[in-house]
């Protein structure tokens, strides 16, 4: 399938209700409103195709950008490629669920994520912390530096309440993911979650929201999900 065929297929799969849902979360035109599950048959045909992924990502169309992440070949992507992708990621569903997910399948994942976390830019920070969540939830514990992750928990503990809104979500999720998926620091993550307490985030809706990493870790433990690792990062 070429670029034109993919765009036509995405347009035909669009649903007004899905489009409205994406827009309520921050997406803007152009987009069609394609459910992620509806993309799977096309993804099976195309498999990985980085040149096509780049064409689709460059459209600025949310559905095309999402599908670009599905068919991307992360191993061929460079630091500069990810800089272009994060630059164009204009809301969290792109930064955290397309760019961060794709980055998590590379050998440069931690290096790039570290840079984004330190950037002070909301969506880069969010993508960086989210990337670590994808990594921790899919890779062996032995692939990480325990001391580095312990230091990162301290950073979260000391800065989360003053961080940008989307970064708060990702940082809170980082505590939870360390607590459930990285066994060497389970106890420290639990302590960090308790010390941090509820994290208040403002949404575009009328009400704010509280995030509770401590409660979520407890729920995961009670369900026997301690040490959980997913087989694949991307669907």
- Among 197, 198, 219, 218, CA closest to 209: 198
| pLDDT-above-90 percentage for the chain | 92
pLDDT at 213 over 80: yes
Question: Which pLDDT band, with edges at 50, 70 and 90, does 199 fall under?
Answer: very high
This prediction's pTM: 0.93
């Amino acid at each position: 399938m070429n670029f034109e065929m993919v765009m036509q297929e995405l347009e035909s799969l669009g649903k007004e209700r899905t489009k409205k849902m994406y827009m309520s979360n921050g997406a803007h035109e152009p987009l069609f409103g394609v459910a992620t599950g509806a993309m799977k048959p096309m993804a099976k045909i195309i498999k990985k195709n980085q040149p096509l992924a780049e064409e689709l990502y460059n459209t600025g169309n949310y559905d095309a950008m999402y599908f670009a992440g599905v068919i991307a070949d992360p191993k061929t992507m460079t630091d500069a490629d990810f800089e272009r992708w994060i630059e164009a990621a204009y809301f969290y569903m792109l930064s955290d669920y397309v760019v961060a997910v794709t980055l998590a399948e590379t050998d440069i994942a931690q290096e790039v994520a570290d840079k984004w976390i330190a950037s002070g830019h909301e969506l880069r920070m969010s993508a960086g912390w989210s990337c670590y969540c994808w990594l921790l939830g899919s890779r062996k514990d032995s692939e990480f530096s325990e001391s580095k992750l312990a230091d990162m928990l301290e950073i979260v503990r000391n800065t989360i309440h003053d961080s940008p809104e989307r970064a708060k979500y990702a940082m809170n999720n980082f505590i939870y993911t360390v607590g459930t998926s990285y066994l060497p620091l389970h106890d420290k993550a639990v302590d960090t979650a308790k010390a941090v307490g509820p994290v208040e985030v403002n949404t575009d809706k009328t009400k704010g929201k509280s995030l509770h990493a401590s409660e979520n870790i407890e729920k995961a433990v009670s369900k026997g999900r301690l040490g959980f690792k997913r087989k694949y990062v991307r669907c």
